[in-house]
Chain A
Amino acid sequence: MIEAQALTKRFDDTVALDALSCQIPQGAVYGLVGSNGAGKSTFLRLLAGAYRPDSGTLTIDQTPIYKEPEVRADIAFVPDDLYFLPQSNLKRMRKLYGHVFRDFSSERFTELAELFRLDQKKRLGTFSKGMRRQAALILALARRPRYLLMDEVFDGLDPIMRNYVRDLIYRDVRERQATAVISSHSLRELEDTCDQLALLHQGHLILESEMNDLQTGLGKLQLGFESDPGTAPESQLRAAGFELVKYALQGKVATVIIRAPQEGLCDKVVAALDLKPVLTEELPLTLEEVFTYEMEALGYCREEVLPDEESEKLPVTGPV
Chain B
Amino acid sequence: MKSQKSSPSLGLYKEGLLQLRFMGLLSGGLLVLASVAQLVTTLIATQGLNKGALGGVYSVASPVSLVSYGSLVVYLLPFLFVLRLFNFLNKRNRSDFYHTLPTSRLRFCLSLLAAVLTWIWGIGLVVLALAVATNLASGASVTAAVVATSLGLFFTASLFAVAATLVAASVTGTRFANLIVTALIVLLPHLVASCFVQSVEAVAPNIPAGYVGLFGAAQIQNTFFMLSPFSMLFGAFSMAPVSNSASVIVTFVWAAVLNAAGVWLFVRRPSEAAGKSAPGRWLQLLYRVAVGALVVALGMGTVLGLSSALDSGLGVGPVAYGSTASLSSSVHLGSFVTLLVIALIAFLVFELITTRKWARVARALPSFALVIIFALAFYGAIRLYTSYETRFKPSASQIASVRLLSAQYGMDGMGEGMAPGLLGSGGAADYTGQTPTYNQLLLRQTNIKDPAFLRVTADKLQENFPAEAAYGGTDENHSTMMIEIKMKSGRTAYRLIYVRTGSRPDAFDKTMLTTPEVNYALLALPPLDKHAELSNTPFMAGDNLLPVSSMSAEQSRQSRELYTAFKSEYEKLSPEEQYQIVYGYSMGMPPTPSAETTTVATFTGGSNLGFSGVLGGKAFTNSYTLITPQASALGWKMTNLELIKLLTDHTSGLSLDQFDLYTSQAARALVSMDATDSAAPTDPSWSVMSGRFEKMMYGNEGAYGENGSEVITDDKMTEASKIIRPALARDFALNAPYYAQITYGMYDRQGNEGNQNMITVPLTAQEAAALQALTKK
Residues of A within 8 A of B (CB): 11, 45, 48-52, 69-73, 75, 77, 79, 81-83, 85, 95-96, 98-102
Contacts and interface: CB of A to CB of B under 8 A. Distances in A.
Contacts of A48: 96, 100
A81 B92 contact: yes
Contacts of B495: none
Contacts of B104: 69
Contacts of A99: 11-12, 14-15, 18
Interface in B14-55: 14-15, 18-19
B113 to A, nearest CB: 16
Contacts of A52: 270
Nearest to A9: B272
A83 B100 contact: no
B96 A83 contact: yes
Given A11-B272, A49-B100, A79 B93 contact: yes
A13 B96 CA distance: 21
Nearest to B87: A86
A79 B96 contact: yes
Contacts of B271: 45, 50-51
A70 B19 contact: no
Contacts of B103: 69, 100
B504 interface: no
B100 A96 contact: no
Contacts of B97: 79, 83
Contacts, number: 63
B102 interface: yes
Contacts of A100: 11-12, 15, 101, 103
Nearest to B280: A12
B102 A83 contact: no
B478 interface: no
Given A48-B96, A72-B101, A81-B93, 7 more contacts: A75-B100, A83-B93, A96-B15, A99-B18, A100-B12, A100-B15, A100-B101
Nearest to B11: A99
B18 A101 contact: no
A96 B98 CA distance: 11
A128 B272 CA distance: 27
A95 B18 CA distance: 10
Contacts of A77: 96, 100
A37 to B, nearest CB: 15
Given A51-B272, A99-B14, A45 B101 contact: no
B99 interface: yes
Contacts of B95: 50
A157 B96 CA distance: 23
B94 interface: yes
Contacts of B100: 48-50, 72, 75, 77
Nearest to A12: B281
Contacts of A101: 101-102
A45 B93 CA distance: 11
Given A48-B96, A81-B93, A100-B12, A72 B102 contact: yes
14 contacts: A45-B271, A49-B100, A50-B100, A51-B99, A69-B5, A69-B102, A79-B96, A81-B92, A83-B97, A95-B18, A98-B11, A99-B11, A101-B101, A101-B102
Q: Name B's interface SS.
A: helix
Nearest to B91: A83
A90 to B, nearest CB: 16
A138 B97 CA distance: 15
B102 A51 contact: no
Interface residues of B, number: 24
Contacts of B92: 81
A16 to B, nearest CB: 10
A83 B270 contact: no
A70 B103 CA distance: 7
A77 B99 CA distance: 11
Contact of A69 (B12, B94, B101, B270): B101
Nearest to B1: A70
B546 to A, nearest CB: 61
Contacts of A96: 15
Nearest to B276: A12
B22 to A, nearest CB: 9
A45 B103 CA distance: 16
B285 to A, nearest CB: 14
Nearest to B95: A50
A71 B97 CA distance: 15
Contacts of B14: 99
B275 to A, nearest CB: 11
A83 B100 CA distance: 12
Contacts of A73: 102
A51 B101 CA distance: 12
A98 B99 CA distance: 17
- Of B92, B93, B97, B103, most buried by chain A (CB within 10 Å of CB) is B97
A83 B89 CA distance: 13
B15 A82 contact: no
Contact of B99 (A11, A49, A95): A49
Nearest to A82: B93
B99 A50 contact: yes
A99 B104 CA distance: 15
A50 B102 contact: no
Contacts of A45: 96, 271
Contacts of B102: 69-73, 75, 101-102
Contacts of B105: 69
Interface string B336-376: 00000000000000000000000000000000000000000
Interface string B99-115: 11111110000000000
Interface in B129-188: none
B273 to A, nearest CB: 10
A42 to B, nearest CB: 9
A138 to B, nearest CB: 15
Contacts of A98: 11
A101 B99 CA distance: 13
A142 B91 CA distance: 25
Contacts of B96: 45, 48, 50, 77, 79, 83
Contacts of B93: 79, 81-83
The 4 closest A-B pairs by CB, nearest first: A73-B102, A99-B15, A72-B102, A99-B11
A302 to B, nearest CB: 30
A45 B95 CA distance: 11
Contacts of B270: 51-52
A139 to B, nearest CB: 10
A95 B16 CA distance: 12
Nearest to A45: B96
A69 to B, nearest CB: 5
A211 to B, nearest CB: 27
Nearest to B105: A69
A101 B94 CA distance: 16
A82 B93 CA distance: 6
A49 B100 CA distance: 5
B101 A85 contact: no
A71 to B, nearest CB: 7
A83 B14 CA distance: 20
A85 B351 CA distance: 31
Contacts of A85: 19
A205 to B, nearest CB: 21
A98 B14 CA distance: 10
A144 B101 CA distance: 15
A134 B97 CA distance: 17
Contacts of A49: 99-100
Interface string B197-214: 000000000000000000
Nearest to B103: A69
Nearest to A49: B100
A68 to B, nearest CB: 9
Nearest to A72: B102
- Of A52, A70, A100, most buried by chain B (CB within 10 Å of CB) is A100
A70 B101 CA distance: 9
B25 to A, nearest CB: 15
B626 to A, nearest CB: 68
